[in-house]
Structure 1
Amino acid sequence: MRSRRAAPGRPRHVPNTSAVAPRDQVLNAAAELFVTRGFAATSTREIAERVGIRQASLYYHFAGKDEILAELLQRSVRPTVDKIEKIEALVPPETHATALYLLALIDIRTLADAPHNVGILYAQSDVTNSEVYAEFQHTRRELVDAYGRIGLQAASVDVTADIDAPELGEMLMHSIEVVTGIRSDGTAMTPQRANRIASAVLRTCDVSNETIAAAASAAFELLAEFHHETASPMAESTL
């Protein structure tokens, strides 16, 4: 889907006092409405009113509601997918267990930073039936493949003999997506919670506790290299 180029909009209904870019303000408002009211029940007029702009001005940033949804869905996976190559390039000298732990930490942060917990939109039928959902699924598949590939390399012999990469990838992704449920309960995604989730991912691969501890230590040090690439102007996470 082709995005519209941002251009100066018409005068705002409400003066813009926010440091957040207008395009991100639209995304933030849309995310809140999609999550609380549903995608189908939200109009572009309501999104524009939430931002404080005229509906016509919204179309300077997005061609329509589907394009807004497409970007919000991508923001819940794309920041992690864009780092897969860099993560895998760390091995060696890092271990596959460290790479998997690091991938999990970055993915947890991506979901924790996604505006207004947009990960819960995955389960809404009006979203899954939208035209843009297939594109999101393609990006998500890249992430599933990475989890499966790295996970099998880190896993014990018993695990590799019993499960293939696509199935393992889905299992590990579901372990990470618990973040959306935690956010729904209003619980902050602290580093301690992130550590427990990432450790659970490695335990699914039957990685020993000693190896998990070493992977966690190395991954937390490496995470600083990815911090500036992961920060979001709409981030709500403390991770």
Structure 2
Amino acid sequence: MSPPTSRRVGRPRAQERPASGLPPREEVLAAAAELFTAHGYTATSTRAVAERAGLRQASLYHYFDGKEAILAALLEGTVRPSLEMARELVTRAGTAAEARLWALCHSDVLLLCGGPHNPGALYLLPEAQTERFAVFHQVRAELKAAYGELLEDTEPGAAMTAEELALRTDLVFGLTESVILIRRADPARGARALAAATADAALRVAGVPQRSLARQRREGQRLLAAWR
């Protein structure tokens, strides 16, 4: 009878890395966005995120100190680029505020709808509403304030009372973020068509007359083309 063979036990191997070509940190964020939106934040473990990203769980902690930090990065990633753009648009001279507002709405919608996992849907997670993500809420509030500044600079905005301006700002900002629900209900909806339609609608909510809309849209499109 031959002696039993000993089985060599080594370190467990990670799953095969996805073929996305993303750096590991971005791979973790993409995996987490997919799992958080599909299964919820509470039901998703860091182990599941690591496995989906093709990493060992220990490797994930090289990039993030836990699940909360991952969600914070995802949430802030849906709003910081828009805030940076808004700050430049608010101070930009030589272009009508209506066109700048159109460009911001269009860009913001594309960001919220970007990627295959509808990242804006993370706003709908109950955990995202808590004080644990205060930085996200602060950045989002600053973005909304920038919308208000652009709206005030429009011709209709200049004639509004403070109360009217606050209401129109709420409506325009809420309209922009409403694409989150539209995309969740219809993931196949084209993001660019949705962005253009939302930006047009935002100007109408802002009080821009229909006769001016096509001109402001063209100016907004030129702004976005120059931005790229």
TM-score class, shorter:
0.7 to 0.9
Contact 1:156 1:205 in 2 (8 A): yes
* Cα 1:87–1:11 shift into 2, 3 Å: farther
Contact 1:149 1:165 in 2 (8 A): no
Q: Render the CA deviation track for 1:194-223: whole Å, top value 9, x for unaligned.
A: 221101111111111122211100111111
Contact 2:107 2:195 in 1 (8 A): no
- Note if 1:97 corresponds to 2:98: yes
* 1:1-239 map, 5 Å: 12-15=14-17, 17-91=19-93, 93-113=94-114, 116-129=117-130, 131-132=132-133, 134-156=134-156, 160-161=160-161, 163-184=163-184, 185-227=186-228
* Cα 1:168–1:107 shift into 2, 3 Å: same
Contact 1:144 1:169 in 2 (8 A): yes
Q: Render the CA deviation track for 1:63-121: whole Å, top value 9, x for unaligned.
A: 11111000100111111101122212333x11111111111111111112156112222
Q: Render the CA deviation track for 1:168-204: whole Å, top value 9, x for unaligned.
A: 3222111101221222111333433322110111111
TM norm structure 2: 0.86
Match for 1:189: what amino acid? G
Match for 2:203: what amino acid? L
* Cα 1:142–1:189 shift into 2, 3 Å: farther
Aligned-residue offset at 1:11: 6.4
TM norm structure 1: 0.82
Runs of 4+ deviating beyond 6 Å: none
**What secondary structure sits across from 1:160 in the alignment?**
coil
Contact 2:152 2:158 in 1 (8 A): no
Contact 1:48 1:55 in 2 (8 A): yes
Contact 1:105 1:195 in 2 (8 A): yes
**What secondary structure sits across from 1:116 in the alignment?**
coil
- Runs of 5+ unmatched residues, structure 1: 1-9, 228-239
Q: Tell me the C-alpha RMSD between the 2 structures.
A: 2.2
* Cα 1:117–1:15 shift into 2, 3 Å: closer
Residue aligning to 1:5: none
Distance in 2 between the 1:147 and 1:155 partners? 15
Q: How many pairs does the alignment contain?
A: 216
